[in-house]
């Protein structure tokens, strides 16, 4: 990642690794695997963990945060992203009772309405706009806020805390910005805790209320589990979708023929989102920690070692997606077999919501403004895991 130009185009480096060193022991410590077959297998492999407490001391990203305040040692430890079965199975079952595809689908009409409102506003402007600040961020933020039923708050402040807090996923940024991450975490926990207390006094029909009421044979979410998982849904429910909209639109701007195909053919919307997810994944890596020894293509992974599954690299593997895997093709037949949402028991809980928002937003955007064009170079966010843009300047006509 220290190579010049990596963040602008990591896929060139991924291609070299896939060809010459597909099971790569990184100088940073973890193994890195880049072929689709290996990534898919390891993501679903028993005897692996996502819980960083199974790493040796000194290899945990959370260690630096805990040094700043040991009282925070337990924070986020109940989020389904960070725990293994059987605890993961129990929590996911409870959360899934509220976060169902049917519940998500109910918000499709509202997503379309919000998108049209934003596009109407953009249409009145006579100057270039920043697609991230003006569309890709506010739309998913509003959607997840309404889906959860969160009380009104300072949108810009919440966005700033969220953007800072997601740096905890990045092994480089967490060391550099530990104090800011801890501060953002404190503020987000305060917001979520207050929202839960407010909801307990009401009888609303929304996701947060459903999570509070979720029960399975007498089992309910504890206060810590509620806070950690609502925070996760709030962050993941909009941060990654911001990147899907930004990365996807930028890819279309770079491939004018595909943008024109999408403008002309609304039946492509669903598959187009799958292909855009494959082509430039909002999440580039997912970790697995060995609990028992296993081999990947003859390389032995020992207990306590981390394997970084290269989702972005696997999504462009020609052994899976053919010799044109580096090309954008919105009609690609197997586009949905990407691993951008992971695989196995930790498959992304919000995949249905991300797909819905991508379909509604990107399709409506390019048909409302078919002459959409870049208005300068985008600003990449410089992150290893959550790849996206901080700014994406465009002209609408």
Residue 292 carries which DSSP code? S
Residues of the chain with confidence (pLDDT) below 70: 57-77, 99, 215-217
For residue 26, the model assigns a pLDDT of 85
Question: How is residue 14 written in tokens?
Answer: 């991924």
What number of residues does the chain have? 397
Q: The pTM is what?
A: 0.92
Residue 261 CA neighbour count, 13 Å, CB half: 15
Q: What angle do CA 286, 288, 292 make, to 5 degrees?
A: 170
For residue 60, the model assigns a pLDDT of 58
Dihedral sign from CA coordinates of 195, 196, 199, 201: negative
H or E, element range at 251: helix 223-254
**For 4-55, what is each residue's pLDDT tens digit?**
999 999 999 999 999 999 999 988 789 999 999 999 999 999 999 999 889 8
For residue 206, the model assigns a pLDDT of 85
DSSP for 40-73 reads HHHHT-TTEE--GGGSPTT--THHHHHHH-GGGT
Given a contact cutoff of 8 angstroms between Cβ atoms, the answer to whether 245 and 356 are in contact is no
**Closest among 243, 173, 163 to 1, alpha carbons compared:** 173
d(CA 361, CA 59) in angstroms, rounded, equals 40
For residue 29, the model assigns a pLDDT of 83
């Amino acid at each position: 990642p220290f190579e010049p130009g990596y963040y602008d185009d990591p896929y060139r480096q991924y291609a070299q690794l896939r060809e010459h060193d597909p099971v790569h022991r990184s100088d940073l410590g973890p193994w890195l695997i880049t072929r689709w077959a290996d990534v898919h297998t390891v993501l679903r492999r028993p005897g692996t963990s996502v819980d960083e407490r199974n790493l040796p001391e000194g290899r945990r990203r959370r260690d630096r945060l805990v040094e700043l305040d040991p009282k925070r040692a337990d924070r986020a430890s109940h989020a389904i992203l960070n725990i293994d079965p059987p605890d993961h199975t129990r929590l996911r079952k409870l959360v899934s009772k509220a976060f169902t595809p049917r519940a998500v689908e109910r918000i499709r009409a509202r997503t379309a309405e919000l998108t049209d409102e934003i596009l109407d506003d953009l249409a009145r402007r006579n100057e270039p706009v920043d697609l991230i600040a003006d569309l890709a961020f506010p739309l998913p933020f509003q959607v997840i806020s309404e889906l959860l039923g969160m009380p009104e708050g300072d949108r810009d402040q919440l966005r700033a805390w969220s953007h800072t807090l997601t740096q905890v996923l990045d092994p480089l940024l967490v060391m550099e910005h530990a104090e800011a991450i801890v501060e953002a975490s404190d503020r987000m926990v305060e917001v979520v805790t207050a929202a839960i207390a407010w909801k307990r006094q009401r009888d609303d029909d929304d996701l947060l209320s459903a999570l509070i009421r979720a029960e399975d044979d007498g089992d309910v979410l504890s206060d810590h589990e509620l806070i950690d998982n609502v925070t996760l849904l709030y962050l993941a429910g909009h941060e990654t979708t911001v990147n899907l909209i930004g990365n996807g639109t930028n890819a279309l701007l770079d491939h004018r023929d595909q943008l024109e195909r999408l403008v002309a053919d609304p039946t492509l919307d669903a598959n187009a989102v799958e292909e855009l997810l494959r082509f430039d994944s909002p999440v580039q890596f997912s970790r697995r920690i060995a609990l028992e020894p296993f081999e990947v293509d003859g390389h032995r992974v020992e207990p306590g070692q981390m394997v970084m599954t290269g989702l972005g690299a696997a999504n462009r593997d020609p052994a899976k997606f053919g010799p044109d895997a580096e090309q954008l093709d919105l009609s690609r037949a197997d586009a949905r077999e990407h691993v951008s949402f992971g695989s196995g028991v930790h498959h992304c809980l919000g995949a249905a919501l991300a797909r819905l928002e991508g379909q509604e937003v990107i399709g409506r955007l390019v048909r409302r403004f078919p002459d959409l064009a870049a208005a300068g170079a985008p600003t990449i966010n410089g992150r290893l895991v959550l790849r996206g843009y901080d700014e994406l300047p465009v002209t609408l006509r």
